[in-house]
Structure 1
Amino acid sequence: MHPLEAGEPRTIGTYRLLGRLGAGGMGRVYLGRSAGGRTVAVKIVHPHFASDEEFRARFRREVEAARRVGGEWTAPVLDADPEAAVPWVATGYVAGPSLDRALAAHGPLPEASVRAIGAGLARALVAVHGLGLVHRDVKPSNVMLTLDGPRLIDFGIARATDGTASLTSTGVSIGSPGYMSPEQILGKGITGAADVFSLGAVLAFAATGRPPFTGDNSATLLYKVVHEPPELGELPAGDLRDLIAACLAKTAADRPAPEAVAAALAGALGAPGWLPAALVEEASRAAARYTCSSSSRGNAQARAAARRARSG
């Protein structure tokens, strides 16, 4: 978390901002706290989007869609104001490192952890797709590792699968190079299968420490995603590699459904020690520091979750 700088807001709605968590193509994300003491993540859009009525309408729809997703494997939407001078949305704060930061600090994850992450994300996609939505930006920085399992965050560019509004009209890139599906890159129709492709890329990254497609520039990278096979040489042969390869099929119809991925990885989250000890400690510190930090009950819950993550 970064301290607030001069010119940044100190409050959004009824939430007091504690620091800046990050920034992206659509806006900035802050750590905040409600009047009742609940820790939240508050996302505000960039001011230049606020005057775009098409963007506001899309943001309004996306907030309502995200409310319906729930919070079992995602960050639940708690509050929002699409009509504010600068629209914002508050979600439950997910205590733990993102997958990309976890690997930067600790290296590739063991197979048990990769399986557990895959199981949790597949279940998240089952819920998302069941509502007719597509996340569109499944990538390591949008996967959080918590004591109770992985969480998929940031539905900022999700929209109904039958939506017609185009984010490119406001200059926002849809998806992230290296994790986008071929059909996203080619501008073809997007279905839930695009998220499955991204899930496969995320799991390959988690297992090896590198994405399955690499390039010196965006053009080369995007060409490889569309035309070349994924680089899975560092993945040992076995059913996990086969599953990841199936998710990375070039043709959407050839990829497994999220339900099939979840079934193939069933039981992974219940396995003892699904999260490495170093990451358990990191997630535990985050939970104790930010989640219900004024409550001894909150700290007790964090300790109990840490024990479950260690022992299964």
Structure 2
Amino acid sequence: MATTLKLPAILRSPTTLQYTIPKKPSSARPSYPRKFYPNDEAKATLSQPWLTTTDPLMPPYPHRAHTHFEEANHGLYGGATIQSGHKISDGRNKGKTLRKWYPNVRVEKLRSVALGVEMSIPTTARVMRTITKCGGLDEYLMGEKPARIKELGLLGWKLRWLVLKSRSVQERWRRERERLGLQGGEGSMHSVESTFAAAWNDTESRAEILTKMGVSWDELREKRATWERHVKETLGWARGGKVGKVGKSRERKGMNTLDVHDPLTTRLPDYVEEEEPIQELPAVQEGFGIVEVVNEKGGMQRRGAKLVNKKTR
């Protein structure tokens, strides 16, 4: 008898929680002076709805965010951070002075051909040279090497996802698959547009998923066997309360979770239905509009446009 599983729409995911900025108390201040802060044009770019909204289907960033240098989470810093050391004085008053070196960051205008927008993003000089060498921002973001993924950061990872889902990139990949005679498309599990329901309902994709799950389960069993040997031989612990090296009774239970929840022996559904998301993500629009803000002197100015009224008369 065929079984059907209904999945609710995905509204929050580990990626959404990863990009959620925690609320810090008002007394919390960074441990470093802010040598660089984005100007109004960069703020207007980074505050766009299509850039601030996180797609729940986007895979989480495999590397953690910068905690001691939070500015790197809002730009393309290429892994650069604050470096500390000493300034050695060779003059009359010889000695060491504690100091810090900040990365060379500038607000650069970068054009994305796939998205069709021009963005003002804080970028280091080294990343700009790499972007020029790769042939553009899109080619830099779509790099596949682990070093490139590690240096993207939270902002670069989100821009990478938007570029991969753009129509121009999807069309280019479709033509390349046709030229090479490869299978795959919207229904394939390797496409960014595919969902879990579409991949599970496909027979070949389901078999591939189960095969990968079996390999992962075998690796976990090997790690469990290694842990059992370590506990028994090194620590002297055993089931049933055997006396260990410290002279005390060490009783423990076996790890039976991998045997009880084996996916290959569990009854799995034959068909999966997934609800459509309730909220639609904002589309990428050409230009960033005009947003009125109040400057320090109380005058009105506009982001993304010329200064309207610099002083209040």
- TM-score interval w.r.t. the shorter chain? under 0.3
Could you tell me the TM-score, scaled by structure 2's length? 0.26
Q: Which has the larger radius of gyration?
A: 2
Which protein, 1 or 2, shows the higher relative CO under an 8 Å CA cutoff with sep ≥ 6? 2
What TM-score, normalized to structure 1? 0.26
